[in-house]
């Protein structure tokens, strides 16, 4: 079984600097066994298909179910706001204007083309061996570690410090990864991370969020009671881990 996290760039037709979509995978022992910085849907599909051959649960950091009559925000997002989990609302009209549509919805449709065995589920075990859920890494970070430094939409040096702190929280390199698996930017030392450019810091942040999505679905698959599904299959849902103090 593979636990896959996708931090998806939301623009349907992004500029070259906005095409970043990180794909990572954890194995049964929570070892980071795969990382790729993708630029197209085709690259994402090829990566996921290869990883999913042994069965998988995929966490996508983007709206994957958006009813056409949605106005302002989805029901699940309103529920999260009531739980004091702040999240960007999914308004189809604004997404069309800002991003050219809801790319998460399109990606899931592509995964499900041709009877390839992928299925969006809101509970486990799933009938299919290739389950897809929507995740929200920011919510997962806060649920698991409480006061996590923000690394998006902040000045460069503040971002650098926040990413280094986040890297420490998830203890990169423990447990050991598979021999010969190249992690590129994820293998940078602390000193090397201190010299990254702004774009490289953003790529590193995408990778961290993808890992958090993968970790969230792994928690859920191993112990469904450790997470909660906010919303439903009809109106949209988001998977979040429960805070350690509540389980």
Residue 186, helix vs strand vs coil: helix
Tokens of 224: 């469904």
Angle between helices 156-169 and 198-222 (to 10 degrees): 30
pLDDT value of position 148: 73
Nearest residue to 73 (alpha-carbon basis) of 82, 107, 135: 82
Measured distance CA(62)–CA(60) in Å, rounded: 6
pLDDT value of position 204: 84
Please give the chain's pLDDT, 247 residues, in tens.
Answer: 999 999 998 887 755 555 579 999 998 888 888 999 888 889 999 999 999 988 999 999 999 999 988 989 999 999 999 998 989 999 999 998 888 889 999 999 999 998 888 999 998 866 668 999 999 999 998 888 887 777 777 888 888 888 877 777 775 443 444 444 445 556 666 677 777 787 888 888 888 899 999 999 999 999 999 999 999 999 999 999 998 776 5
pLDDT value of position 180: 46
> Per residue in 129-151, pLDDT tens?
899 999 999 999 888 888 777 77
Q: Cα 216 vs. chain centroid, distance in angstroms? A: 9
Measured distance CA(124)–CA(218) in Å, rounded: 12
- Count structural domains, the chain: 1
pLDDT value of position 173: 41
Nearest residue to 203 (alpha-carbon basis) of 2, 17, 31, 49: 17
pLDDT value of position 115: 82
Domain that residue 72 falls in: 2-246
């Amino acid at each position: 079984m593979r636990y896959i996290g996708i931090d998806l760039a939301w623009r349907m037709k992004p500029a070259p600097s906005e095409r970043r979509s990180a794909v990572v995978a954890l194995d049964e022992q929570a070892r980071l066994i795969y990382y790729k910085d993708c630029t197209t849907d085709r690259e994402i599909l090829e990566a996921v298909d290869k990883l999913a051959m042994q069965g998988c649960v995929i966490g996508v950091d983007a709206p994957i179910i958006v009813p056409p009559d949605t106005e302002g925000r989805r029901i699940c997002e309103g529920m999260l706001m009531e739980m004091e989990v702040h999240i960007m609302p999914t308004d189809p009209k604004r997404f069309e204007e800002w991003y050219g549509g809801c790319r998460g919805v399109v990606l899931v449709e592509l995964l499900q083309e041709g009877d390839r065995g992928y299925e969006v589920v809101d509970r486990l075990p799933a009938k299919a061996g290739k389950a897809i859920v929507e995740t929200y890494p920011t919510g997962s970070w806060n649920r698991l570690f409480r006061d996590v430094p923000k690394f998006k939409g902040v000045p460069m040096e503040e971002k650098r410090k926040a990413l280094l702190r986040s890297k420490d929280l998830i203890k990169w390199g423990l447990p050991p990864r598979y021999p010969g698996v190249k992690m590129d930017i994820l293998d940078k030392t602390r000193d090397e991370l201190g010299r990254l450019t702004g774009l490289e810091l953003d790529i590193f942040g995408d990778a961290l969020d993808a890992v958090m999505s993968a970790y969230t679905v792994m928690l859920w698959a191993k112990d469904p009671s450790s997470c909660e599904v906010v919303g439903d299959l009809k109106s949209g849902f988001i998977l979040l881990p429960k805070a350690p103090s509540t389980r």
